[in-house]
Amino acid sequence: MLIWFVRSIDMRRFDRENLALLNFEGISRWENRYNAGGVCATITLGTACGYAILVSRDPFAELACISVTLATMVSLVGRNYGSARAVVVMSLSACGPIILGLLGLMDGFMALLAVLMVPFILTTWSMARGVRETLHKNVLAARNINHRRPFRSRSQQYAAWAVHAGCR
């Protein structure tokens, strides 16, 4: 609850910020604040998983914690694709404690599950990179289209972007 409360206050501050006036340092400061809050949330989820696996040994607690944490990883790609650093740090902070908990059991099958977490992490990174590259290409394409015909209406600009992006 404390992490959620602090992050919600920080998000409200961000909403009140005049983004047009931010310079590079200001943008970096806000990105670092966002990443710190995200890491606090993901490391809390990962630590709960590690605890459930290694200490509680309650199958429901293990399943519930791991399910919530891995579901959070899906949104990690969608919300943080723009920052490779955020995706790497948050996925490691969420999955690292799971891997440690699985390895701490000193069981061959659990060690295999820990090893299988690595491709999951790498796939998360790869999906975020793919989304980032696609967005970057579309932004550049839209910029090129707008520079060629600067007097289009907004609807014409969106239609041109949609055609270029393969949406039509």
Distance of alpha carbon 51 from alpha carbon 76, whole angstroms: 22
Q: What residues of the chain score a pLDDT lower than 70?
A: 81-82, 146-168
Distance of alpha carbon 54 from alpha carbon 24, whole angstroms: 43
Q: Is the pTM of this model over 0.85?
A: no
The angle formed by the CA atoms of residues 143, 148 and 152, to the nearest 5 degrees, is: 85
Length of the chain: 168
Distance of alpha carbon 29 from alpha carbon 55, whole angstroms: 37
* Distance (Å) of CA 127 to CA 72, 85, 138: 14, 14, 17
- The pLDDT score that the predictor gives to residue 168 is 44
- The pLDDT score that the predictor gives to residue 76 is 82
Torsional sign, CA 42, 48, 53, 54: positive
Assess contact for 114 and 103: CB atoms under 8 A.
yes
- The pLDDT score that the predictor gives to residue 56 is 92
- The pLDDT score that the predictor gives to residue 131 is 85
DSSP 17: S
